[in-house]
Amino acid sequence: MHGEYKIPGGKLVVVDVESEGGVLRHARVAGDFFLEPDEALQAVNRALEGAPADTDAAGLAARIDAALPEGTVMYGLTSEGVGIAVRRALAHATDWTDYDWQLIHEGPQSPALHMALDEVLTAEVAAGRRPPTLRVWEWGSPAVIIGSFQSLRNEVDTEGAARHGVEVVRRISGGGAMFVEPGNTITYSLSVPEALVQGLSFQDSYAYLDEWVLGALGDMGIKAWYQPLNDIATEQGKIAGAAQKRVVGPGGGPGAVLHHVTMSYDIDADKMLQVLRIGKEKMSDKGTRSAKKRVDPLRRQTGLAREAVIERMVASFRDRYGLSRGKVTDDESARAGDLAREKFSSAEWTSRVP
C-alpha cells in the first residue's frame, strides 16, 4: 500500500507498507525532507515494523520518537507526518492529482443560492456524478452567514442587519459567522471525494485542504499559515476562516467533503460590528481587542485588485493539480434553486437555533 502526505509548511512524506496478520511489515519511508543522521531513516522504518495496523497516527509517531537516535534533526518532516502517511496508505487514500478537477466561477448569486449550491454540488460529488470541484463565489448582495449550530440572536444584530440591507442565511457546515459584501471578500468551496482525506484526522484535513491556497498566497508575497482549527493567518492577523461538512454517499457508501473558505479582501469592520454580535470572550480568544485587527484585508497585503487575486489563486491551483472550466448543470441549478427557496430562505432553517 502506498500513502503520501504533504506536511503543512513542510515536505512530502511517502510511505510504502504492507499489512500482514494485522501488523505492519516492510515499511519504507521516503520523501524530499531533510533528516540527520542518515541512520535515522532506518530507525523510522524499524519503528513501524510490527506495529499493529490499527495504530493511529499519534501512536505511530510515539513509536518513531522512541526509536530515533539521540540528536536526530528533522527539517520539513515530523514523526506525526510519517504516521499520517501510513494511515493514508492503509486507508487507500487518493491524491489531488488523481482527479480531473473542475472550476465553477459564475456571476453574482444570492446568499441563499450559494448555500444551496454547496449542498447540491457536494452531494453530486459524493454520488460520483460530478468531478471534484473548485467553486469561486460571487456575491449578489451583502450577507451574514452563520454556522449550522450557532444561535441566531447571539450572533446577529437583526436590527443592524436590516438597517444595512444585509440578508442572514445559515449554512450546512459548522464554524462561526461571516460578514460579506460584494467585492469585499473572496469565497470559494472545494467539493472533494472523501477518499482525498482518508487517514487524516478532522483537524489534519483542514490543514491538508488549505495547503494549496497557502502556496498561492506565498506566490503573491504573503507568508500565511494554517492556524488550528480553521483559520488562515499572517503576521498582520487572521485573513480567512474555513468550515467543513461531510456528506454521506448513496446507500451510506463513500461520501464527499465540503470545505469552504472566506477570505477578507477589504472588509468594512465598522459595519461588521453593527451587524454581528462579537463578544469580548471571542475577541480575547483571538488575542486581540479590535475586530479590525482580526480581519486583515488582502487588498492591503497584496496591492492587487480582487479579480487579480482570484485569477492568481486559480492559476496556482491549475498549475498544481490541473483544472478545467465547468459549469453548474441545468439539473443542479434547478435543484439548488428549489433548495434555496424551500430551505435556505426559510425562517424555520435560519432560526433552527434561535
Lookup: cell for 219: 506566490
Q: Contact 19/90 with Cβ under 8 angstroms?
A: yes
In the chain the domains, ranked by start, together with CATH numbers, are: 2-90 (3.30.390.50), 96-350 (3.30.930.10)
Res 283 pLDDT > 60:
no
**Of the given ranges (122-126, 136-140, 246-250, 294-298), which has the lowest mean pLDDT?**
294-298
Q: pLDDT tens across 305-317, in order? A: 999 999 999 999 9
pLDDT at 252: 85
| Number of residues assigned to the chain | 354
Mean pLDDT of the chain: 93
pLDDT at 229: 86
- Residue bearing the bigger pLDDT, 350 or 300: 350
Pick from 233, 256, 258, 235: nearest CA to 245: 258
Q: pLDDT tens across 162-192, in order? A: 999 999 999 999 999 999 999 999 999 999 9
Region 275-292 average pLDDT: 57
d(C-alpha 346, C-alpha 103), whole Å: 29
CA distance readout (Å), 88 to 173, 297, 336: 24, 36, 34
d(C-alpha 145, C-alpha 240), whole Å: 14
Residue 284 phi/psi, 5-degree rounding, is -70, -35
Percent of the chain topping pLDDT 90: 85
**Of the given ranges (42-51, 283-292, 299-308), which has the lowest mean pLDDT?**
283-292
Q: Which residues contact 14 (CB under 8 A, 6 or more apart)?
A: 2, 3, 4, 29, 30, 31, 85
